[in-house]
Chain A
Amino acid sequence: MASAFGIITSSANHIKIEGMQDYRPMGAFSFAGRYRVIDFPISNMSNSGIDNIQVYVRENPRSLAEHLGNEGAFNINSKKGKLQLLFSDNSTANDVYNTDVAGFAENMNIISRKTQEYVIVAPSYMVYTQNYNELLEQHIASGADITLLYHHVNNAKESFLHCDTLDLNKQKGVLAIERNTGTANAKNIFMDTYVMKKELFMTLIREAQKLSSIYTMSQIINSEVNDLDVRGVAHRGYFATVTDFKSYFEANLDLIDVDNANSLFNENWPIYTVTSDAAPTKYYEQAEVRNSLVSNGCSIKGLVENSVIGRGVTIEDGAVVKNSVILAYSRIGNGVHIENQVVDKWAQVIHAKEIIGTPEKPGYIKRDDIL
């Protein structure tokens, strides 16, 4: 069995989620009530037998470092495996310098010392399940230099607007990697997931840096598609990107649909996370809850519809929560009406009685804030 180590990249610098990203990197965003987005790539790697994982962190490392410090939670063999956090020294001069390649180049010594032959690079800001071992075998069998994982969509005009797309020929050879500009609905969305030999990976990093200080991995590969054998492999199953506020909001609410949840969560492919030993959720007499995902440790007296509720949330008497994502430990007070919002952790909405957004333009209530 060929060996591979995993790399989980932090978000690209052209992606920014206002508000939420002020407090934590995208990989640390809460997802579906009890997970963090990074649980998905890590669980994918762990379940695929990839025990050596490097996680690159660009900013606000505390919550991610705390979360990943619990190596045992992710079923990673403590002797054979290693979950490393690698930080990049961010350039304060100009954010354009803070690319994935810059992060890799800074940690080149650590990459070069890995004994595995292959590397699998996956993003910390996309939610999907994939057996990387199968992907690696497919890559090796195809004889390709680089395999790129993509997902075919039919709504690329309004969605996936900050993602790259793959232009493929009939044999799934990659002709180009280009930003999605929303010009067509049918597109192959690149899942920022790469498979290649470690040596090639290191060569590409060096070449990228020679060409341009701000070249990204996808850009250097794009410039070499004619010299290298780059193939696309299609992904099937649930796929969501957390690349802007609205996509974060929608990806969470999408999971209330039982078909989506079944397509993402599977007994045979557990998604590990750091658990919090919270008590079961208490539903009071006057509670009315419908069509929602509710985490443990909550106390619910009000009405909750079509929402995702994180751990330890309090929803008081007469409160109405609709179409919203309520993050852990926040509180919705008596008679407060919340619709189409993301309420960040520890926030308390008590005095403001009506915070109503629209599905097209959901609102954001800041972490720790008291309204």
Chain B
Amino acid sequence: MDLLDDNSGLNLEDPAWKIYTEDASALPQYIGPNARIKTAFITQGCKIDGEVTRSVLFTGSVVKPGAKVTDTVLMPGAVVEEGAVVTRALVANNVKIGAHAVVGDAKSEAIELVARNVKGEE
């Protein structure tokens, strides 16, 4: 999350000092018509059609319309379904947060660790 600050001290974009990584064969990020992104780090393969604020999204994260992701890290393949609200959380690989589920709390000190699918309200 510190990386969201421009003065983090780590310049990821320095062409003279490339950070090599395993570059997944994924599409460019798809930002949908309902997307609202404010202060975020998003990488390829992501599909964003909801609200993302102060968050870091790994490869292949999906944020559906009406979903709100705030102060959160979504690990690769995490899916946040329609209308779900995820705050101050770390969502593990390929975990699905069901529609309209509420995860995490803005006022809580602790970061909510989500390692299993969260059932939504259909």
The answer to whether the Cβ of B12 comes within 8 Å of any Cβ in the partner chain is yes
Chain B residues near A256 (CB-CB < 8 A): 30
- Contact between chains at B35 and A289 (CB < 8 Å): yes
The answer to whether the Cβ of B116 comes within 8 Å of any Cβ in the partner chain is no
- Contact between chains at A275 and B23 (CB < 8 Å): yes
Cross-chain pair count, CB within 8 angstroms = 93
- Contact between chains at A290 and B35 (CB < 8 Å): yes
The answer to whether the Cβ of A201 comes within 8 Å of any Cβ in the partner chain is no
The answer to whether the Cβ of B44 comes within 8 Å of any Cβ in the partner chain is yes
Q: What's the least CB distance linking A90 to chain B, in Å?
A: 34
Q: Which A residue sits closest to B44, measured CB to CB?
A: A296
Which residues 156-201 in A have Cβ within 8 Å of B in the complex? none
The answer to whether the Cβ of A351 comes within 8 Å of any Cβ in the partner chain is no
Chain B residues near A32 (CB-CB < 8 A): 27-28
Q: What's the least CB distance linking A101 to chain B, in Å?
A: 35
Q: Please, how many angstroms separate the alpha-carbon atoms of A284 and B25 in the complex?
A: 26
Chain A residues near B36 (CB-CB < 8 A): 288
Q: What's the least CB distance linking A74 to chain B, in Å?
A: 11
Which residues 278-312 in A have Cβ within 8 Å of B in the complex? 279-297, 299, 304, 308-309, 312
- Contact between chains at B41 and A280 (CB < 8 Å): yes
Q: Please, how many angstroms separate the alpha-carbon atoms of A291 and B65 in the complex?
A: 12
Q: Please, how many angstroms separate the alpha-carbon atoms of A34 and B41 in the complex?
A: 18
Q: Please, how many angstroms separate the alpha-carbon atoms of A312 and B19 in the complex?
A: 14
Interface residue tally for chain B (C-beta within 8 Å): 30
The answer to whether the Cβ of A18 comes within 8 Å of any Cβ in the partner chain is no
The answer to whether the Cβ of A276 comes within 8 Å of any Cβ in the partner chain is yes
- Contact between chains at A279 and B28 (CB < 8 Å): no
Q: What's the least CB distance linking B8 to chain A, in Å?
A: 11
Chain A residues near B29 (CB-CB < 8 A): 281, 293-296
Q: Which B residue sits closest to A275, measured CB to CB?
A: B23
- Contact between chains at A277 and B23 (CB < 8 Å): yes
Given contacts A270-B25, A272-B25, contact A280 B42 (CB under 8 A): yes
- Contact between chains at B37 and A283 (CB < 8 Å): yes
Q: Which of A33, A284, A312 is close to B28, meaning CB atoms less than 8 Å apart?
A: A33
Q: Which B residue sits closest to A306, measured CB to CB?
A: B33
The answer to whether the Cβ of B21 comes within 8 Å of any Cβ in the partner chain is yes
Given contacts A275-B23, A277-B20, contact A258 B43 (CB under 8 A): no
- Contact between chains at A291 and B31 (CB < 8 Å): yes
Q: Which B residue sits closest to A284, measured CB to CB?
A: B39
- Contact between chains at A293 and B30 (CB < 8 Å): yes
Q: Please, how many angstroms separate the alpha-carbon atoms of A43 and B21 in the complex?
A: 22
- Contact between chains at A291 and B28 (CB < 8 Å): no
Q: What's the least CB distance linking B60 to chain A, in Å?
A: 10
The answer to whether the Cβ of B119 comes within 8 Å of any Cβ in the partner chain is no
- Contact between chains at A293 and B31 (CB < 8 Å): yes
Q: Which of A272, A296, A309 is close to B43, meaning CB atoms less than 8 Å apart?
A: A296
Per-residue CB contact flags for chain A residues 333-353 toward chain B (1 = under 8 Å, else 0) read: 000000000000000000000
Q: Please, how many angstroms separate the alpha-carbon atoms of A253 and B97 in the complex?
A: 31
The answer to whether the Cβ of A265 comes within 8 Å of any Cβ in the partner chain is yes
The answer to whether the Cβ of A261 comes within 8 Å of any Cβ in the partner chain is yes
Given contacts A258-B30, A291-B32, A294-B31, contact A279 B12 (CB under 8 A): yes
Given contacts A258-B32, A294-B28, contact A279 B19 (CB under 8 A): yes
Q: What's the least CB distance linking B112 to chain A, in Å?
A: 22
Q: Which B residue sits closest to A299, measured CB to CB?
A: B13
Chain A residues near B27 (CB-CB < 8 A): 32, 34, 261, 265, 293
Chain B residues near A287 (CB-CB < 8 A): 37-39
Per-residue CB contact flags for chain B residues 51-82 toward chain A (1 = under 8 Å, else 0) read: 01000110000000000000000000000000
Q: What's the least CB distance linking B54 to chain A, in Å?
A: 9
Q: Please, how many angstroms separate the alpha-carbon atoms of A314 and B39 in the complex?
A: 15
Chain B residues near A308 (CB-CB < 8 A): 28
Q: Sort A-B residue pairs by CB-CB distance and give the 8 closest, nearest first.
A: A275-B23, A280-B43, A279-B12, A33-B28, A295-B28, A283-B37, A294-B29, A283-B40
Interface residues of A (CB under 8 A from B): 32-34, 256, 258, 261, 265, 270-273, 275-277, 279-297, 299, 304, 308-309, 312
